[in-house]
Structure 1
Amino acid sequence: MTKEHEEIIIQDLKDWKRLIKPYASPETKLAWKQIFNTILPFIGIFVLAAIVYDYSLIATLLISIIGGLFLTRVFIIQHDCGHQAFFPDRKKNDRTGFLTSFLTCIPYKYWARSHNHHHAHQGQLDTRTIGDVNLLTVREYELLSKFEKFKYRIYRSVPVMFIIGPAYYIFIHNRIPFITLKGWDKERKMLLLTNVYLVLFFVVLGLVLCLPHFDLLYGFKKLAFIYVPILLTFVFTAIWFFYVQHQHDPNYKAWKKDWEYLLAAIKGSSYYKLPAILNFFTGNIGYHHLHHLAPKIPFYKLHKCSHENPVFQKHVSEITFWSSLKYAFYTLWDEENNRMIKFSQLKEIRVKP
């Protein structure tokens, strides 16, 4: 993206704050609607899976996968609570975010703070360690030793990023307070407490499931068979969506001294054009450029904001599911040409004068 293009975007969207303002306000009635059309169906699906378990494991697995899609939407509710964008009231947001974390297994306060850090620094090459997938510039990669290059290639490979990574993220990354920065004591403590609460929650759930047979082993095997696929479906979906919406090309990355918030939102995030059913399950997260521009817009108002203000679509990178598949292979930032590239493109960059 050239400087001229950047200036055009800034000029076209100079009134973005005024345009956003009518939508950046949560509404209690609409928030409760999302609770009823998301969490209640999720609970119903879990109960159905528990009933079907004794008759068909395949049917139970299929039901659990659907449950995982609903859990993705539950997580978007938790996500908006972390932005204080779901309910108008802070206490309601924090209570709802904490309670939904029992279902998602994502620690509410710890994750929300790291995610808000991501929002404040998204696209800044100076800050790539919190709430983001590690991304190297071509120059940084070239300076690595052979072993370090090998490690980075493994880390950014599709199997690690989209198969091993999601499982690691839900079962390890969000169980251990890896962020050790000063001032994070409260969040680290809440993460550890959340682990304790989750153990108690799932112990109680396992005991409830064992009641028909009064068999502890049966109850916890049943819980694992139902809930592990739910969690994995959710986290695979969530990581895919959050990943491709920042690894696309054209894109925007800059060092802090040159970084522009507006450009980071509009060009550093994408618009994932999806069918209505996927927008439902993913809580409109496809409107990622709008979400990064104004995280105070509740997910239930993102579509309306986009539909009523087409100027926000004018410069964004629009992607579809099929076009997004190639972004799984974009692994480096080419500073010379301001673009995301694959490892296979390194050779053509090197031969340039």
Structure 2
Amino acid sequence: MTNTDYRQIAKQVRAYAQARTGRAWLEVIFTVVPFVTIFAAAAALWGHYPIISILLTVPAAFFMVRIFLVQHDLGHGSFFRHKGLNKWVGKALGATTGIPYSYWKRTHAMHHATTGNLDKRGAGDVTTWTVEEYRNAGFWSRLGYRFYRHPLVIIVLGPAFLLLKMRVPFGHPTPFKENWRSILSNNVVLAAIVILLGTFLGFGFVAAVYCLTLYLAMMIGIWLFYVQHQFEDAYWAPQETWNYHQAAIEGSSQLAMPGFMNWLTANIGLHHIHHLDSKVPFYRLKEVVRSIPDLEAVNKISWLRTPRLLTLTLYDEACQRMVSFREARRNSSTENA
């Protein structure tokens, strides 16, 4: 595609950047009510059937992911037509997900503005080195990067790191004064929830059900976020040649999942369309695919292939593709032969 093609497609997509208030409220109801029902069932069963309560954290976590994805669209200002409604519903849902609304909104906007830009990495994305950067790094830096990019670290330890990181207003790409109110107010609400649950149901319930639900939801969220931009042919370019529309279409995957999984994950698998125009609410993304055939087959990846994507750790500028550490080493040996 040419730059003109990208702009033309973006113009077509813009026609769907219109929120529908009635549909939006239905999405909230069909997301929050099942979560509350499952969580209430886990609470009711905790005294006599704790194992069942713990098992219920799995469906609860998926609905918490969906709650976050509603919050995500609210942060983009795309979910409701009214700006204030997006803001206050977003803050309320942030109390459930443990993700500070205003903080997330700012950092995520930076991610959208810099996706695929080799000169502006590090804002709300997975740290990604080029092959050359890895080769030129010192031993301890390479070791640290290999540890960070290990699949178990990203998926299993990543949730704990992010949950803790979002508890303090320091060390973020946005200024402290923009973070502290959002983060600290979210902390106060979370502390109140923990105290209330612990008082009435016991802190064992808090640890085994509430915290586990948060953790599992974060694991699912990290997996989704990772595979949306870390795939073989993902677009990366230096600032001088970087193109926003090209980065949106070619730097974001289209995750092919069963229908019920698409619903649970709020169509976030159509990530290339979301990045092309974040003002299109998730409940209209499928309309875009049906009306613009050029977007239907772009970067389509089966969810069954996603474990393979976790091994892609470096961007090879020469080949213009993501490669694993093993591939990078093999290519280096070939070049030196």
What is the TM-score normalised by the length of structure 1?
A: 0.91
Alignment of 1:312 onto 2:305: no
- Structure 1 residue runs of 5 or longer lacking an equivalent are 1-7, 211-218
CA contact (8 A) 1:71 1:104 kept: yes
Q: Which runs of 5+ in 2 are unaligned?
A: none
1:152-191 map, 5 Å: 152-170=145-163, 172-179=164-171, 183-191=175-183
- Shift of the 183–167 alpha-carbon distance from structure 1 to 2, 3 Å rule, reads closer
CA distance in 2, matches of 1:30, 1:178: 38
After superposition, give the CA deviation of every residue in 1:69-114 in whole Å (9 maximum; x if it has no partner): 0000000011011100111111100101100011100111111110
Matching of residues 5-20 of structure 1 within 5 Å: 8-20=1-13
Over the residues paired in the alignment, what is the CA RMSD in angstroms? 1.6
Alignment map for 1:64-213 (pairs within 5 Å) = 64-170=57-163, 172-179=164-171, 183-207=175-199, 209-210=200-201
Q: Which runs of 4+ in 1 moved over 2 A?
A: 8-14, 177-184, 186-189, 204-207
1:5 alignment partner in structure 2: none
Residue 10 of structure 1 and its aligned partner are, at CA, apart by: 3.5
1:283 alignment partner AA: A
Question: Offset at 1:49?
Answer: 0.6
d(CA) in 2 for partners of 1:287, 1:330? 21
Instruction: State the partner residue of 2:322.
Output: 340
Identity %: 34
Return closer, same or farther for 1:24/1:199 CA change in 2, 3 Å cut-off. same
What is aligned with 2:214?
231
Could you tell me how far apart the structure 2 residues matched to 1:180 and 1:37 are? 33
Match of 1:31 in 2: 24
Q: Give yes or no for the alignment of 1:283 onto 2:266.
A: yes
1:258 corresponds to: 241
Q: Distance in 2 between matches of 1:235 and 1:288?
A: 18
Instruction: After superposing the two structures, state which structure 1 stretch, 15-24 or 25-34, moved more.
Output: 15-24
C-alpha contact (below 8 Å) 2:254/2:300 kept by paired residues: yes
Q: Give the distance between the partners of 1:14 and 1:57, measured in 2 at CA.
A: 55
CA distance in 2, matches of 1:9, 1:167: 42
Q: Is the 8 A contact 1:68 1:233 kept in 2?
A: yes
Q: Distance in 1 between matches of 2:172 and 2:278?
A: 25
Change (3 A) 1:299 1:334: same
- The answer as to whether partners of 2:74 and 2:90 remain within 8 angstroms in 1 is yes
Q: Aligned residue for 1:216?
A: none
Verify the 8 A CA contact 2:6 2:246 in the aligned structure 1. Answer: no
Q: 1:56 to 1:339 in 2, by over 3 A?
A: same
Provide the TM-score with structure 2 as the length reference. Answer: 0.95
* Cα distance between partner residues in 1 of 2:52 and 2:117: 46
More displaced, 66-75 or 175-184?
175-184
Paired positions, count: 335
With over 3 angstroms needed to count, the CA separation of the structure-2 counterparts of 1:251 and 1:182, relative to structure 1, is closer
